[in-house]
Structure 1
Amino acid sequence: MQRSTTFSQLFIALILMISCAKKEETEVLSPQDTIELKLIKELEASLLPLAGADPSLPGTDLSFFSPLGQAKIVGMGEATHGTREFFQMKHRLFQYLVEKHGFRIFAFEYDFGACLILDEMLQTGQGSMRDYMQQSMGFWTWRTEEVLQFFQWMQDYNRNKPVDQKIHVVGVDCQMMQYGIPQLVKMLQQYDPNYAKSVNERLGSLAKNSLYPGATFSTIQSLRSPVLPKLNEVGRELQERANNIAKATSPAYNQQIQHLFQTLTQAEIVQYSLVITPDNGIIFREKYMSDNTSWIFEQYGNVKIALWAHNEHVANNDRYSNISTPSQGGHLRNKYGNEYQVVGFSKASGQFSVVNLTSKRLETMTVSAPLKPSINYLFSLAKEKNYVLKISDLQAKPNWQQHLASPQPFLSIGAGFDASQVDAFFRAIPLDRYYNFVIHFNQTTATKLL
Structure 2
Amino acid sequence: MYNDLNYWIKHEAITLSFDPPESFNNSIDRIIASLDDSVELLGFGEALHGGEDILILRNRLFQRLVEKHGYSAIAIESSFPRAHVVNEYIAGRGPESYEKVQDTGFSHGFGSLEANRELVEWMREYNANPSHEIKLRFYGFDSPTEMMYADSPGQVLHFVLDYLASLDNISGRYHQEIIDPLLGDYAEWENPAAMMDPTRSVGMSPNAIALRMETEDLISELNERRPEMIAKSDEDHYMEAVQYATVARKLLNYHAISARDSENRLLRLLGVRDAMMAENLLYIVSREGSRGKVLAFAHNSHLQRGKAHMQLGPYALTWWPAGAHLHEIFGPRYSNIGSAVGISDANGICQPEAGTLEALLTGLQGTVRFIPTHRGTGLPASEIAALANRSGSMKNPTYFVLTSQSLTDFDWLAVLDSTTYSRGGPQLQE
TM class, shorter-chain normalised?
0.7 to 0.9
> How do residues 427-442 of structure 1 correspond to structure 2 at under 5 angstroms?
428-442=403-417
CA contact (8 A) 1:72 1:340 kept: yes
Q: Which residue of structure 2 aligns with residue 308 of structure 1?
A: 297
- Asked which structure has the greater CA Rg, the reply is 1
Q: CA deviation at 1:287?
A: 1.5
Alignment counterpart, residue 105 of structure 1, candidates 73, 84, 96: 73
Look up the match of 1:328. 322
Conserved 8 A contact 2:52-2:420: yes
Counterpart mapping for 1:18-57 below 5 A: 39-40=5-6, 42-52=8-18
Deviation at 1:338, TM superposition (A): 2.1
User: Residue 416 of structure 2: SS of its match in structure 1?
Assistant: strand
Alpha-carbon contact 1:349-1:369 (below 8 Å) kept: yes
Structure 2 stretches of 5 or more lacking a match?
146-150, 311-315, 426-430
Question: Which residue of structure 2 aligns with residue 338 of structure 1?
Answer: 332
Aligned match for 1:225, one of 199, 206, 217: 206
- Structure that is richer in helix per residue: 1
Separation in 2, partners of 1:149, 1:421: 25
* Aligned residue among 25, 40, 62 for 2:28: 62
Contact 1:73–1:305 (Cα < 8 Å) also in 2: yes
Counterpart AA for 2:366? E
**Structure 1 residues 255, 410: CA separation in 2 closer, same or farther (over 3 Å shift)?**
farther
Residue 259 of structure 1: how far off its partner (Å):
0.8
Partner residue of 1:32? none
Q: 5+ residue gaps in structure 1?
A: 1-37, 353-364
Matches for 1:293-442 after TM superposition, within 5 Å: 293-302=281-290, 303-318=292-307, 321=310, 325-351=319-345, 365-392=347-374, 395-396=377-378, 402-405=382-385, 409=389, 418-419=394-395, 425-426=400-401, 428-442=403-417
- Contact 1:408–1:428 (CA under 8 A) maintained in structure 2: yes
- Shift in CA distance, 420/218, structure 1 to aligned 2, threshold 3 Å: closer
1:180–1:264 CA contact under 8 A, matched in 2: yes
Alignment deviations for residues 27-47 of structure 1 (CA, whole Å, 9 cap, x no partner): xxxxxxxxxxx7445423321
Question: Does residue 124 in structure 1 map to residue 124 in structure 2?
Answer: no
Alpha-carbon deviations, 1:74-133, whole Å to 9, x = none? Answer: 111000011011111111112222221111122222222112222222223553452134
Q: 1:251 corresponds to which letter in structure 2?
A: E
- Alpha-carbon offset, residue 421 of structure 1: 9.0
1:409-428 deviations in Å (ceiling 9; x for gaps):
3687xxxx644999x95363
Give the RMSD, CA atoms, in angstroms.
3.4
CA distance in 2: counterparts of 1:219 and 1:344, whole angstroms? 37
Q: Which amino acid aligns with 1:49?
A: T
1:88 aligned partner: 56
Map of 1:28 onto structure 2? none
> Once structures 1 and 2 are overlaid, which stretch shifts more, 285-294 or 50-59?
50-59
Matches within 5 A, 1:260-299: 260-276=244-260, 277-299=265-287
Amino acid at match of 2:342: A
Could you tell me which residue of structure 1 aligns to residue 419 of structure 2? 444
Residue 12 of structure 1 corresponds to none
CA deviations 1:311-335 (Å, max 9, x no partner) are: 0110111455475642111111122
Q: Contact 2:300–2:338 at 8 Å: present in 1 too? A: yes
Whole-Å Cα distance in 2 between the matches of residues 81 and 117 of structure 1? 23
Alpha-carbon deviation of 1:170?
Answer: 2.5
Indicate the percent of aligned positions where both proteins have the same amino acid: 16
d(CA) in 2 for partners of 1:371 and 1:185? Answer: 55
Tell me if structure 1 keeps the 8 A contact 2:304–2:336. Answer: yes
